[in-house]
């Protein structure tokens, strides 16, 4: 799966690359498969992400009517738990069993854990079905999975009348301390729109923009990062 950003963190395959390396974590890019890569990263620390939901998720989903939601690359569960607290019934996917175990434990500490189904799944091997009212793909950046494949899978899981939310790193808006310069892993709003054929496919585009966000560096320094944000509704 991919990476996710929690409260300034950044993570892919349900996990965020930038936050991982900035925090001194090894992304294990020499691993033979996605499971070993992400399990290895999570095992390095008892807690990787803040537990807070991604800010773009909160901004874009707060006004939607709850239904069935899919959180792709859920990591330690911050987004999935927040969605459940808003009334959504959530399927939360990640390739890392270590992350999912932590996420389920965090959810069990809340009164909304029964709204979440945790599912281990490698997006590279997943066949989506269009059954979700909301599909959230937050920072699904992985050296093992091209972003074009992950966003196509996310779009394919949206039910007619449902919402697709894709948030990723803008290739020209990374903070100065970032170790990630592989611009091919990240995307602009224009690239995202072209890949998803938003001008021709059955989508109504609600939001397509880049949005600056304050972040903190590994040594406490302040900076900004630029997120690419898409929210689109699939025509019924």
Radius of gyration of the chain (CA): 16
Smallest CA-to-CA distance from 225 within 99, 123, 142, 141 is with 141
Cα–Cα distance, 118 to 169 (Å, whole number):
25
Contacts of 120 (CB under 8 A, 6+ apart): 93, 94, 95, 96, 97, 100
Please list, in sequence order, all residues whose beta carbon lies within 8 angstroms of the beta carbon of residue 71, skipping any fewer than 6 positions away. Answer: 79, 80, 83, 90, 91, 92, 93, 136, 138
197 touches 170 (CB < 8 A)? no
Dump pLDDT digits (tens) for 118-160. Answer: 999 999 999 999 999 999 999 988 888 899 999 999 999 999 9
Write out the E strands in 173-221: 203-216
Write down the pLDDT at residue 193. 96
Which of 45-54, 129-138, 203-212 is predicted with the least confidence, judged by mean pLDDT?
45-54
Alpha-carbon torsion, ordered 17, 209, 217, 151, to 10 deg: -10
Helix, coil or strand: residue 122 = coil
CA 41/CA 207 separation, integer angstroms: 33
Contacts of 194 (CB under 8 A, 6+ apart): none
The average pLDDT across 7-13 equals 37
How crowded is residue 215: how many other Cβ atoms within 10 Å of its Cβ? 22
Rounded CA separation 153/147 (Å): 10
- Distance between CA atoms of 92 and 114, rounded to whole angstroms? 12
pLDDT of residue 64: 97
Mean pLDDT check: name the lowest of 40-44, 85-89, 199-203, 222-226: 40-44
Residues 149, 222 contacting (CB under 8 angstroms): no
| Confidence at residue 12, expressed as pLDDT on a 0 to 100 scale | 36
Helix (H) or strand (E) holding 228: strand 222-234
Which uninterrupted H or E stretch holds 98?
helix 97-108
Whether the pLDDT of residue 110 is over 50: the answer is yes
Q: Could you tell me which residue, 8 or 45, shows the higher pLDDT?
A: 45
| pLDDT of res. 23 | 47
Q: Is the pLDDT of residue 31 over 70?
A: no
Q: Assign 57 a pLDDT band (cuts: 50, 70, 90).
A: very high
pLDDT band at 9; cut points 50, 70, 90: very low
pLDDT of res. 22: 36
Residue-level pLDDT at 15: 38
The pLDDT tens digits for 160-207 are 999 999 999 998 888 777 766 556 889 999 999 999 999 888 999 999
């Amino acid at each position: 799966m991919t990476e996710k950003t929690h409260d300034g963190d950044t993570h892919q395959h349900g996990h965020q690359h930038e936050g991982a390396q900035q925090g001194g974590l090894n992304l294990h890019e020499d691993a033979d498969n996605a499971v070993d890569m992400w399990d290895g990263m999570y095992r390095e620390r008892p807690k990787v992400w803040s537990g807070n939901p991604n800010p773009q998720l909160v901004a874009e989903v707060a006004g939607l009517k709850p239904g069935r939601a899919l959180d792709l690359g859920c990591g330690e569960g911050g987004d999935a738990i927040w969605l459940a607290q808003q009334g959504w019934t959530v399927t939360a996917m990640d390739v890392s069993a270590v992350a999912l175990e932590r996420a389920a434990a965090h959810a069990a500490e809340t009164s909304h854990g029964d709204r979440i189904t945790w599912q281990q799944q490698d997006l590279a091997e997943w066949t989506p079905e269009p059954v979700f009212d909301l599909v959230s793909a937050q920072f699904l950046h992985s050296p093992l999975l091209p972003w074009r494949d992950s966003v196509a899978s996310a779009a394919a899981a949206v039910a007619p009348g449902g919402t697709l939310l894709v948030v990723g790193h803008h290739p020209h808006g990374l903070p100065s301390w970032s170790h990630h310069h592989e611009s091919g892993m990240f995307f602009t709003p224009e690239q995202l729109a072209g890949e998803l054929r938003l001008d021709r496919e059955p989508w109504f585009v609600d939001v397509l923009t880049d949005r600056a966000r304050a972040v903190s560096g590994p040594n406490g320094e302040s900076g900004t990062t630029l997120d690419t944000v898409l929210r689109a509704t699939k025509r019924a």
